[in-house]
Amino acid sequence: MKRDIPAAEALAQILSETPVLGFETVSLGETLGRVLGEDVRSARVLPPADNSAMDGYAVCAADCARASEGAPVWLPVAFDVPAGSADVPRLARGSAARILTGAPLPPGADSVVRQEDTERDGERVAIRAAPEAGVNVRRAGEDVEAGELVLEAGVRIGPAQIGMLASLGRTVVAVHQRPRVAVLSGGDELVEPDGDVAGGRIVSSNSWSIAAQCRELGAEPVYLGIARDAPDEIERRLRAGLSADVIVSSAGVSVGDRDFVRGVLEKLGCRLHFWGVRIRPGFPLAFGRIGEDARGPLVFGLPGNPVSAMMTFEQFVRPALLRMQGARRLHRPLVRAQLAETLRKKPGRMHLVRVTLERDGETVIAHSTGNQSSGVLKSMIRAQGILIFPAEASDLAAGASAMVQVLDADFLAADAPGF
Ligand code: AMP
Ligand code: MG
């Protein structure tokens, strides 16, 4: 087991141990937010035929080349083409067909004159503007061509992807499985939110924030409850998580007298790859994998402090859970931001500074959220970003720039729609 390693090494180690889960088939309506597990090629052409983009008249543009407001061209209306028509007849030169939006363009026609540029008089129509050939026609295949690779495996499925899958006639879709994450909290001082907090007890907030972090990125938490600081209870609860893809336990992995989690994990056949990452908050992070052939669940022993637990989840568990789902992007968006105030620390550990962000013209300005203690959960509530204060640096002067992981792009939000 390695100890006291840099963050980048810890993450690389974790990702090298993280498998991509298999696939499952789900119905189209269940695909929102899932990661597509197959390349989707279209067996169809979309739209399937040339069709009208307007309500108006289908014509051959050459027949109306001289049409103008003052000198309209009169054409006989040969037939009507509503949307959904099949077997549309051929349009003879020198005539027009009444056509509605989405209806197939008759063979022989090459353009659609919009209704506003026409005047109907019984069986005839006056064309008051000369159409350019092809105008107001949506071409067959202008959206999707036959055989085209429309969606690639690894994309996250959103509303537009679902609309496309529907257009292609897909009622079931292969997606990556969602990782099941067993969440364990440990500590004699902990109670559930409706529990009695007399005598200095505190609520196990980690149980809730960690489960929510799992859900937010598409993983499925399975709660193992609160284990008292006793090896046999920790073991009993951890055993219930052995069938999960990942076990995330918080607290009890430090060097305190009652930190039994590491010992129990080892007893359960967990090979710990590292303990201790040179970051703050979150130093006492342990990572390993259970099982002889290392095919069991990945195990993350997170620190107990609420900010440390959330932060180590964010930096190390989140990318692993995304990789398991086959996602392409494992990391948050990054921006370079200018510091509003000077930050100082001792060299040695990378600090993950919770910041609020503000846009000032083209510049993004980062302000510390204030008290950066690992027990101050409010610093996470307010955080729009996590500023990377590199391990070997000892100060970052006001006005200097640093990389910020963007948690919440709300600082870009406007109070007007921009139109
Ligand atoms: P430990 O790692 O057990 O020394 O815990 C470090 C700190 O985190 C202590 O102040 C604990 O009370 C606190 N803590 C541990 N587990 C939780 C939890 N599930 N929810 C909130 N705070 C916790
Ligand atoms: Mg404890």
| 82-98 confidence digits (pLDDT tens) | 999 999 999 999 999 99
Q: Give CA angle at 318 (313, 323), nearest 5°.
A: 150
Strands 401-406 and 334-339 turn out to be antiparallel
Output the pLDDT for position 388.
Answer: 98
Q: Which letter, b or e, does each residue of 83-110 get, where b requires 16 or more Cβ atoms within 10 Å of its Cβ?
A: eebeebeebeeebbbbbbebbbbbebbb
Output the pLDDT for position 259.
Answer: 86
183 CA to middle of ligand 2, Å? 15
pLDDT-wise least confident of 105-119, 134-148, 207-221, 368-382: 368-382
* Residue owning the nearest CA to atom 14 of ligand 1: 304
Token pair of 54 as six digits? 């307007």
- Do 387 and 337 meet the contact criterion of CB atoms below 8 Å apart? yes
- Model pLDDT for residues 271-282, shown as the tens digit of each residue: 999 999 999 999
Q: Give CA angle at 122 (117, 123), nearest 5°.
A: 90
317 DSSP assignment = I
Q: Which of 205, 206, 308 to mutate to test the pocket of ligand 1 (most atoms within 8 A of CB)?
A: 206
- Model pLDDT for residues 166-219, shown as the tens digit of each residue: 999 999 999 999 999 999 999 999 999 999 999 999 999 999 999 999 999 999
372 CA to middle of ligand 1, Å? 16
Q: Which ligand is nearest to the CA of 253?
A: 1
198 CA to middle of ligand 2, Å? 17
d(CA 53, CA 101): 5
Q: Is the CB of 148 under 6 A from ligand 1?
A: no
Q: Is the CB of 251 under 6 A from ligand 1?
A: yes
* Torsion over CA: 146, 147, 149, 153 (sign): positive
243 CA to middle of ligand 2, Å? 25
Given the structure tokens 């008089």, which residue do they identify? 121
Q: Which of 360, 326, 351, 341 is closest to 405 using CA atoms?
A: 351
pLDDT-wise least confident of 23-27, 288-292, 315-319: 288-292
d(CA 110, CA 129): 15
Cis, peptide link before residue 131, omega less than 30° from 0 = no
Q: Residue 133, Cβ neighbours under 10 Å: how many?
A: 12
d(CA 67, CA 71): 6
